[in-house]
Amino acid sequence: MRIGHGYDVHKLVPNRKLILGGVEIPHTLGLLGHSDADVLTHAVMDALLGAAALGDIGKHFPDTDEAFKGANSIILLRAVMDKLKKLGYAIVNIDCTVIAQRPKLKDYIMQMRHNLSAACSIPLEDINIKATTEENLGFTGREEGISAHAVCLLERLS
């Protein structure tokens, strides 16, 4: 068994879509980044890569590579899963926390779970997503950005 932790943060800006866990969420601001800036999916990818000792998403999908400009992070997550499967790893579970003052995310969490479950080819009950605010403290509390943490447990099948 191997455990991994992932963390990501992106700045909130006007004129960008807000995408979390592959779900486009209506909001006046979106996340700035080279790809779709999906902090939740990025944190999951980093947790999975870390558990398998494969580095981080910057190593595999550098923001200097135009091939990843505007990339859909769910597609990148599928590529991470291909790497894990080739090494004989399977996901036991994933647990995530999104930190955002606004918008409220409770109505979108189930679709995020479905998207990540499908991308990782794991049962829905093996992925959990929580959302919290920081009570108006720090950069997330001031609505300057959104961050996410993810932890995962992998097992080697072969």
Half-sphere CA count of 140, side-chain side, radius 13 A: 19
Q: Is residue 25 a known part of a binding site?
A: no
Enter the tokens of residue 15.
Answer: 């004129």
Q: Is residue 34 a known part of a binding site?
A: yes
What pLDDT is recorded for position 78? 98
What pLDDT is recorded for position 115? 98
Tokens 């700045």 belong to residue: 11
What pLDDT is recorded for position 66? 85
Q: Is residue 23 a known part of a binding site?
A: no
Residues 52-60: contacts with CB within 8 Å, 24+ apart? 52/2, 52/4, 52/83, 52/84, 52/87, 52/89, 52/154, 53/2, 54/83
Q: How far apart are CA 41 and CA 31, in angstroms?
A: 13
pLDDT tens track of the chain, all 158 residues? Answer: 999 999 999 999 999 999 999 999 999 999 999 999 999 999 999 999 999 999 999 999 988 888 888 889 999 999 999 999 999 999 999 999 999 999 999 999 999 999 999 999 999 999 999 999 999 999 999 999 999 999 999 999 96
Q: Which domains does the chain have, with CATH numbers?
A: 2-156 (3.30.1330.50)
If residue 99 lies in a helix (H) or strand (E), which one and from where to where? strand 89-99
8 A C-beta contact, residue 31 and residue 10: yes
What pLDDT is recorded for position 68? 84
Q: Is residue 19 a known part of a binding site?
A: no
